[in-house]
Amino acid sequence: MSSLFEIPIRALKGVGDKKAQLFHKLGIDSVGTLLYYFPRSYEDWSNPLSIADVEGGQVCCVKGKLSATMRESRLPGNRYMVRAEVSDGFDAMRIVFFNNKYITQMLKYDTEYLFYGKATKDFSGVQMVSPEFVLAKESADTFHPVYGLTAGLTNKAVQNAVKQAISMLPLKVADPLPDFILEKYDLCGLRDAIINIHIPDSPVSLQRAQRRLMVEELLVLSLGIRSLKQQHKEARGTNITADFTEEFLSLLPFTPTSAQRRAMEDCTRDMLSGKVPMNRLVQGDVGSGKTAIAACACYNMVKNGKQAAFMAPTEILAEQHFATLQKLFADTDIRVGLLTGSATTSNKKKIREALAQGEIDIIVGTHALITDKTVFKSLGLAVTDEQHRFGVAQRSKLLTKGDDPHLLVMSATPIPRTLALIIYGDLDISVVDEIPPGRQPIDTLLIGTDKRHRAFNFIRKELDNGYRAYIVCPLVEEDDSDLTAAEEYGAELMLEEFSDYAVGIIHGKMKYQDKEKTMRRFASGELQLLVATTVIEVGVDVPSATIMMIENAERFGLSQLHQLRGRVGRGDSKSYCILVSDNTSENTQKRLSVMTSTSDGFKIADEDLRLRGPGDFFGERQHGLPKLSIADFSDMSTLYTSQDIATDILEDSPDLSGDKYKGLRASIRRLFKDSQGTMN
């Protein structure tokens, strides 16, 4: 099987240079990668309907013969149309083809075909436009695969290429999963899985193929991430020899929670171990005090004679962390610097020189920290904030700036433990599950659009009292009639409901500099109301923001709603979150009522997992993970099975050595090559 990854896609009949380039756009360069390019859906041709049973709007299969002469006609714009009639022996159906000048030669009379397409139905009967068709007697494939395509490449072309590739499979395929695993977990072999994922002969064989390939992909992902963790454990680590935690605590203007203390102790113990570098995730709810935990780790590192780096995903968040650390360490000899992409060339040069000379102890910054120009004198600790905004490769790049530095990553996205094993399998985890005293709970209300104007009045009252507000929309531009778009809605609010107030608009399609500028204006008070998309999910602290209204709340996952809600209630004033939705389905009402009944992010995450499945925790980014082909984290039993198999395999061979796991090692390298560079 591995040799098929070395055969270029051009080796297949009918795939020339031009078509090979189209396959390349889909990430397919070899026969092997084509076989792992799985269908996104299937057309079921196994149960043809009688024409009498066809319903309007139904996508279906009909068996029949041509029952009337095909009629050709010309249309305006030099277009060409052919009408025909198909009979199943009892009733007739019209079929229509456009701009297919060969169709009259392709369809023969007195010959039975299967026609597949979307049927329409009116007073004159049933019709299909441009249906797919095959000879009924030759239709061995009852499930036809449908592939993701790119312009210029047809589904038929991919199907033909896949059939050729399958014919090249050896009779005995080397399976990356050992026999004892296949038997114990009742998994089909790789050859059967590859064939039946592309050309299934029954629903059962398709399900078995999907389960096998999903389990394998999750297993490879899990083992790959554990391999990264093992590589990290083989490093020496930048040892610290003294614990300055109590000294740090005396600098804090508040008493830390017991959860904060536990996380601080975890970090200090890791760095004092003298064995391997710390590799820890601090996972805590919005406002749980994770920055203080990171500051404690930085303090310990600097007091032991090393430097610390603190990387944030946006400039405004980096500036906020810089201001916090400067204030905290104002009466100490610790020097804090700031390095961001928008700084002037001379200022960046000055900061980098000071960093290289060891004149800066803690550097706070954005991606500017991982460029080749940034050099440290003795980096001992790397901290990344909002971990899901950084990929594995970016995290690794920061670690190359020192001699096996310790790593601390922070995330405000509460994730159930099961999923955390997959997302952060290479990290030890500290959970900060307490909110510091003094933080008032945010009152969350669920209303229909009929009460929107009452909500506007309430928002105006808050603005008049000197507070600020957010209104969140799910889309940027109007491409769905029942959704509210940020730009159009923002303009409407400026002109009508909030014409007497300073209103700003921010969304993901704006230039980075414009987004930063708008957030700064809002943070400074120049803007009173911010109309935004989820781009503010990770944002700057605005203590005077006390109210958020979220339109079309049913379109968001609970965890995302919780993240958004965390933008308010960051000061000591009473804060509110208003969810607007007219969706009355039982499931939606149940989901949204969770938001009104609890502010515990971990409870919300568990409920989100139960009601919606795990997709909401990943979105399109997949938290910097390698791109997956078939596993979508939607089947929890498959997720658990892959974890059980990983445990069995590692008990058998902790380092996956020997010929038995040669294929598994190759699969790990292939999956991680794009996100990680190379893997040992």
Per DSSP, the residues of 350-384 read HHHHHHHHT--SEEEESGGGGSTT---SSEEEEEE
242 & 379 share domain: yes
Range of the domain at 222: 175-234+641-680
Among 432, 464, 491, which residue terminates a domain? 432
585 & 521 share domain: yes
Q: Does a structural domain hold residue 320? A: yes
Total domain count, the chain: 4
- The pLDDT tens digits of the residues spanning 237-275 come to 567 899 999 999 999 998 999 999 999 999 999 999 877
Among 542, 573, 598, which residue terminates a domain? 598
Cα atoms in the 13 Å half-sphere on the side-chain side of 31: 20
Closest CA to 404 of 271, 294, 223: 271
Q: Does a structural domain hold residue 146? A: no
Q: Does a structural domain hold residue 618? A: no
295 & 425 share domain: yes
Where residue 128 sits, what CATH number does that domain have? 2.40.50.140
Among 371, 398, 432, which residue terminates a domain? 432
**Token pair recorded at residue 621:** 């980014």
**Token pair recorded at residue 225:** 């991430």
**Considering the entire predicted model, what is its pTM?**
0.62
Q: Where are the alpha helices (DSSP H) in 234-344?
A: 245-249, 258-272, 290-303, 315-328
pLDDT at 482: 42
DSSP string, 328-357: HTTTSS--EEEE-TTS-HHHHHHHHHHHHH
Burial 276-287 (b: 16+ CB within 10 A, else e): bbbbbbbbbbbb
Low-confidence residues of the chain, pLDDT below 50? 476-484, 618-623, 674-680
CA dihedral angle for residue 517, residue 521, residue 524, residue 526, rounded to 10 degrees: 160
415 & 452 share domain: no
Do you know the residue count of the chain?
Answer: 680
pLDDT at 304: 95
652 & 517 share domain: no
Whole-angstrom distance, CA of residue 373 vs CA of residue 505: 35
230 & 241 share domain: no
252 & 217 share domain: no
**Token pair recorded at residue 559:** 């965890």
345 & 421 share domain: yes
